[in-house]
Amino acid sequence: MDFVLIPSRPQLNINLVSALAALVVCAASLWRSLSRRRSLPLPPGPRPLPILGNVLDWPTMSPWIKFAEWSKVHGDIVHIQLMGDHVVVINSAEAAAQILNRAIYSDRPRFVMAGEIMGYVRSMALAPWGNHWKSMRRLTQHGFSKSSVQKFLPNHEDGARRFVRSLLEKPSKYLETLRFVLGKNILETTYGLEVDSVDHKLIKVSEAIQSDIAFAIVPGKFLVDTFPLLKRLPWWLPFLKYDKYAKRAMELTAEMVDGSFDDVKSRMSDGTIRPCLVSNVLEDDNLRNKTPDFENVLKWAAGTLYGAGVETSVACFSTFALAMAMYPDVQRRAQEELDRVVGSSRMPTFEDRERLPYIDAILKEALRWQPPVPLGVPHRVMEDDTYNGYRIPKGSVVIANLWQMGRDARTYSDPLEFKPERFLPDMNGGRAAELDPATYVFGFGRRACPGNHYATTSLFIQFASVLWAFDIKAEDEQGRPVKVSPEFTPGFVSHACPFPYKFVRRVEIQDGMTS
């Protein structure tokens, strides 16, 4: 027996000693790496003041322009300090992909007013990283994947015909009409109902929610976003009045998020539902009740889509219309392509898309020239990180300057010009096509826009149909040409500034073509 026991003891000790040694080596290397990380500098940026940091430098209008100026002085990654909080602005597409495509950047910063007080923290765009957000993403990605959006193509074609018809009847207020057409499509595909006019209750409620969030989300609008402790004071205090905003948001949410969902369920039970995103998920055994709190998750996933999808697409269309008025040669070339492929006896359809590469290139160029959300939606990093010898501390808010990425002269030739041919390899002087802006204008990583395929199919058919039917011109009341310049609104979603436009019919349009 001794013979068996004696050799086993040293064996045990050797194992123990090697394990302890390995542990010590690991701990030491972890400690060294952490200390090295902590000793790395923050990315460069404008010099902060004591306590206030860069609060006084923070631009309130079109901040992307100031951020781009800082990048010329400090480089692609700029650090800003706001009352002790770290903000990192990334100005190159390559750096943004390397940093933001990693899972540790999937959180959002706190939105105290819009998120916590008004309650929109449950929506997909503002929700922090966690189970509620992950489950919403899973359901939405299922409904809006590249293959799933094929189901919506007839709705988009129908929307484009409707838009052309209303431009013929009432060319003024074209953006309002487009907003209605796009909103109607999102509501119909999400909830399977028929939305027949701008006065539909859900259009009104969705618009109200969207404009309230856009108002409340702007940094500096509410003091509580800078000093979250204010949230603990009674909300009715006259100088706060948070209860007023919270009550209105609660009423709107009850109509939009809860009401529309309950309505789908009751139409499913009486057999009058038209298949839609919500009913498809409710009927899918692989999705239904697969997450805790399933109904709440689905309600909020669905309730986010109008707000996230309509304004962004309208902004892109407004940029397209401005570019067409400023660049008549581009417009003419697109119309030659349409005349060759589609002809004048019918409107374009998705079946023509493969043979309309120039229209697709115009869409890419409109997204690059003025990204609809120039700074994307901020991310928050959940762990300490390093990039290119710089330290990005845990909790930093990270902003991607998509606007600057589109005008980076290292990536694009003549970046200020509207040149769709940059995206056609064979028309780009033999060079490869330039970087597709879809790789950054829809954001990054796990947070990237789940509506990108939906948006690009819908915008493609709108652009093709409008160019097929009309010449877009900048003209005054007397029909004299007006010189317009590329000016854009300064908000979170950026539109082309209004200009005197005219849609001049260029083909004979029979009644049957647009119905």
* Contacts with ligand HEM, residue ranges (CB under 6 A): 124-125, 137, 186, 304-305, 308-309, 312-313, 316, 372-373, 376-377, 379, 441-444, 447-451, 454-455
Least CB distance to ligand HEM at residue 27 (A): 36
In this complex, which beta carbon is closest to ligand HEM, that of residue 245 or of residue 403? 403
Least CB distance to ligand HEM at residue 124 (A): 4
User: How far, in Å, are 228, 452, 453 from residue 449 at the CA level?
Assistant: 28, 6, 9
Pairing of strands 379-380, 470-474: unpaired
Least CB distance to ligand HEM at residue 228 (A): 21
359 CB-near residues (< 8 Å, 6+ apart): 334, 337, 338, 353, 460, 463, 464, 467
In this complex, which beta carbon is closest to ligand HEM, that of residue 46 or of residue 307? 307
Least CB distance to ligand HEM at residue 396 (A): 15
Contact 14, 20 (CB under 8 A): no
In this complex, which beta carbon is closest to ligand HEM, that of residue 177 or of residue 304? 304
Q: Which helix (H) or strand (E) holds 66?
A: helix 63-74
Least CB distance to ligand HEM at residue 143 (A): 9
Number of residues written out for the chain: 515
DSSP 364-423: HHHHHHS-SSTT---EE-SS-EEETTEEE-TT-EEEE-HHHHHT-TTTSSSTTS--GGGG
Least CB distance to ligand HEM at residue 500 (A): 25
Least CB distance to ligand HEM at residue 202 (A): 15
User: How far, in Å, are 107, 113, 152, 243 from residue 231 at the CA level?
Assistant: 22, 9, 43, 11
Least CB distance to ligand HEM at residue 446 (A): 7
Helix axes 174-191, 294-326, angle to 10 degrees: 150
Is 276 annotated to bind a ligand? Reply is no
In this complex, which beta carbon is closest to ligand HEM, that of residue 48 or of residue 406? 406
In this complex, which beta carbon is closest to ligand HEM, that of residue 216 or of residue 441? 441
User: How far, in Å, are 118, 161, 273, 456, 512 from residue 443 at the CA level?
Assistant: 25, 30, 34, 14, 40
Contact 37, 465 (CB under 8 A): no
Q: Which helix (H) or strand (E) holds 88?
A: strand 85-90
In this complex, which beta carbon is closest to ligand HEM, that of residue 362 or of residue 474? 362
User: How far, in Å, are 153, 212, 311, 342, 510 from residue 362 at the CA level?
Assistant: 20, 32, 19, 17, 27
Which segments of 254-401 does DSSP mark as H helices, in order? 260-269, 277-283, 294-326, 328-341, 357-369
Give the annotated binding-site residues for heme: 449
Q: State the binding site.
A: 449
